[in-house]
């Protein structure tokens, strides 16, 4: 159970932050507030959404403690490593230490999108939208990720869009791919049409074949230099065998 009593509470316009005394999050809270307020405004701007939502963010010093707060009923022997996750309507749990700083748009995007739609959208578009709001994956361009995945057949693009299980199992690479897809879709048709699709779409079968064909044609037009391919290969090799994990080894949900 999350012990709220040991946390110090700090407020900003759109957040209540819960930080552990003498933690890296407490030390950096002024910077964190600036970054998170910017992310909040940016996601509202993308969604054309006005809200008086106030988000609670609980900071953890490591992804194991964060993981424990995700599933309090889990077998204590069974460690779940999670960098960050959110739960509706307005809560985020995040790891913040010297190496892992899981702040940014991603979880804020899930919460504001949920409020805008009054429901949880299709998982693939939900994650894609959140990644699109960050506009990078491991600090690398989303469309270039898609091109690299396409060029190397790192994961099966069709399967990613058709099978939720496959999508989840390959989240390290399926996330930037759907991020790229959402970026392409929003740039092409605008946010209003994207929102309409989110309102309707609740299963993978709602993805139209033609749309996917058009998106894959778009990926082919992205330029990736040899140096960029080598850089991607190196980054991917560093994470081999850690499928399903986020940038720092923990899951990002």
CB of 155 to Zn ion, least distance (A): 17
How many residues sit close enough to Zn ion to count as binding (CB under 5 A)?
2
Position closest to Zn ion via CB: 130
Query: What gap in Å lies between CA 238 and CA 10, rounded to an integer?
Result: 37
Q: Of 25 and 133, which CB lies nearer to Zn ion in the complex structure? A: 133
CB of 140 to Zn ion, least distance (A): 18
Query: What gap in Å lies between CA 113 and CA 105, rounded to an integer?
Result: 12
Element (H, E) at 112: helix 106-117
CB of 203 to Zn ion, least distance (A): 18
Is residue 112 within 8 A of residue 84, CB to CB? The reply is no
Query: What gap in Å lies between CA 218 and CA 143, rounded to an integer?
Result: 9
Q: Of 130 and 177, which CB lies nearer to Zn ion in the complex structure? A: 130
Strand partners, 137: 140
CB of 178 to Zn ion, least distance (A): 10
Q: Of 39 and 127, which CB lies nearer to Zn ion in the complex structure? A: 127
Q: Of 130 and 186, which CB lies nearer to Zn ion in the complex structure? A: 130
Q: Of 71 and 230, which CB lies nearer to Zn ion in the complex structure? A: 71
Q: Of 131 and 146, which CB lies nearer to Zn ion in the complex structure? A: 131
Scan for tokens 């040991």, then name that residue: 6
Count CA atoms closer than 13 A to 110's CA, side-chain side.
22
Q: Using CB under 5 A, which of the segments 13-21, 58-66, 130-138, 163-171 binds Zn ion?
A: 130-138
Which DSSP letter does residue 140 get?
Answer: B
Element (H, E) at 202: none
CB of 110 to Zn ion, least distance (A): 6
Scan for tokens 């701007």, then name that residue: 45
Q: Does 130 sit near Zn ion (CB under 5 A)?
A: yes
Query: What gap in Å lies between CA 80 and CA 159, rounded to an integer?
Result: 26
Query: What gap in Å lies between CA 236 and CA 178, rounded to an integer?
Result: 17
CB of 43 to Zn ion, least distance (A): 13
Query: What gap in Å lies between CA 33 and CA 39, rounded to an integer?
Result: 10
Q: Of 186 and 224, which CB lies nearer to Zn ion in the complex structure? A: 186
Strand partners, 84: 94, 252
Residues 110-129 that bind Zn ion (CB under 5 A): 127
Site string for Zn ion, 191-210 (x = CB under 5 A): --------------------
Residues 2-41 that bind Zn ion (CB under 5 A): none
- Sites of contact with Zn ion (CB under 5 A): 127, 130
């Amino acid at each position: 159970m999350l012990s709220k009593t040991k946390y110090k509470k700090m407020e900003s316009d759109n957040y209540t932050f819960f930080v552990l005394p003498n933690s890296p999050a407490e030390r950096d809270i002024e910077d964190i507030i600036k970054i998170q307020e910017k992310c909040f405004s940016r996601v509202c701007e993308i969604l054309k959404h006005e809200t008086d939502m106030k988000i609670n963010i609980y900071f953890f010093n490591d992804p194991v403690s964060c993981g424990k707060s995700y599933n309090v009923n889990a077998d204590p022997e069974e460690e779940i490593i999670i960098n960050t996750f959110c739960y509706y309507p307005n809560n985020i749990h995040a790891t913040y230490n010297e190496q892992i700083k899981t702040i940014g748009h991603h979880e804020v995007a899930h919460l504001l999108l949920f409020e805008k739609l009054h429901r949880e959208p299709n998982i693939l578009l939900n994650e894609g939208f959140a990644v699109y709001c960050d506009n990078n994956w491991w600090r690398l361009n989303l469309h270039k990720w898609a091109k690299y995945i396409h060029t190397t057949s790192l994961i099966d693009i069709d399967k990613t869009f058709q099978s939720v299980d496959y999508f989840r199992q390959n989240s390290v690479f399926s996330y930037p791919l759907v991020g790229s897809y959402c970026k392409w879709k929003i740039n092409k048709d605008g946010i209003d049409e994207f929102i309409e699709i989110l309102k309707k779409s609740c299963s993978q079968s709602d993805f139209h074949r033609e749309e996917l064909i058009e998106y894959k044609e778009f990926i082919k037009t992205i330029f990736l230099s040899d140096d960029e391919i080598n850089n991607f290969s190196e980054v991917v090799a560093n994470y081999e065998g850690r499928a399903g994990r986020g940038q720092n080894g923990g899951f990002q949900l």
